[in-house]
Amino acid sequence: MKYFLSAALFVLLPLISESRAQDVNFANVAAEVRTYTLINQLSAERVLIGVDYALDNVGYVARTGKNSRVIHEHINKLSSRLEGVRAIIILSEKGLLIHDSFRYPAKVIDLSDRDYFRQSRETSAVVIGDAAIGRTSGVPFIPVAKKVGDVTVVAIVSPHLLISSQTQCVSCVSAILRPDGSVLASFPPAAQIPPNVLSLPVLNKSEEGIDRANFLHSDTAIAWKQSALYPLIVLSAKGLANTARVGFYD
């Protein structure tokens, strides 16, 4: 009996040690991705808070200003000072471009078919549109729109500035998502975030958390948090050591 117990312990001890090592590995990685998630949340909200205030300011100027040249100069200077903003445009009640920080006079374009314009007409809150590629520039952008009085003011935001890329680890993946799961920004920029990432069971548990998920080719520590200020979900993930898999997730 003594020899049997000794043999059993000889077999079990490595397994117990391996289990503890895996627990420590997960705890360390989970703390890491949680930190990145919070940093990226603050980064995205900082940009959007600045944009939010700017849209109100521009809307007021557009309603009260009489000189189109003065309005153009105002939005041109404002867009150059705002972090992450490439341009600001003002649309009429019917969706026609009437002011453009990039060009004076503004080229007459009908943007009434844009989802962000239609959604902005139904709410007083900021509307964050889908990430898109500029037709002429070929550069990615996110339209952030807000109805102010009769006009809709739109900031053209660079997606990569929503994520604090300087603080990310080399082997981590981070993303800013809309509640419908569409990706607004990611790090690395070329990261292929699955379109149905929000179908992961762990992300349906609560507005924020840390868990394990078979995701991005590995057993992954994943952290997420919904912004209380804007319709955003911030996500960061990192694969645990020695857990490579074939698919995105099981």
pLDDT score of 17: 39
Say which CATH number the domain at 147 has: 3.30.450.20
What does the pLDDT look like over 14-23, one tens digit per residue? Answer: 433 344 445 6
Task: Find the mean pLDDT for residues 169-187.
Answer: 84
For residue 207, what pLDDT band results from cuts at 50, 70 and 90? confident
pLDDT exceeds 60 at position 7: no
pLDDT score of 200: 62
**Per the structure block, which two tokens stand in for 159?**
């997606």
Residue 42 resides in a domain: no
Residue 122 resides in a domain: yes
Residue 61 resides in a domain: yes
pLDDT score of 195: 65
Helix (H) or strand (E) holding 115: helix 115-120
What is the residue range of 93's domain?
47-158
Residue 16 resides in a domain: no
Count of alpha carbons within 13 angstroms of residue 224, beta-carbon side = 26
Residue 96 resides in a domain: yes
> What is the value of pTM for the model shown?
0.80
DSSP per-residue letters across 12-81: HHHHHHHHHHHHHHHHHHHHHHHHHHHHHHHHHHHHHHHHHHHHHHHHHHHHH---HHHHHHHHHHHHHH
What does the pLDDT look like over 69-88, one tens digit per residue? Answer: 999 999 999 999 888 899 99
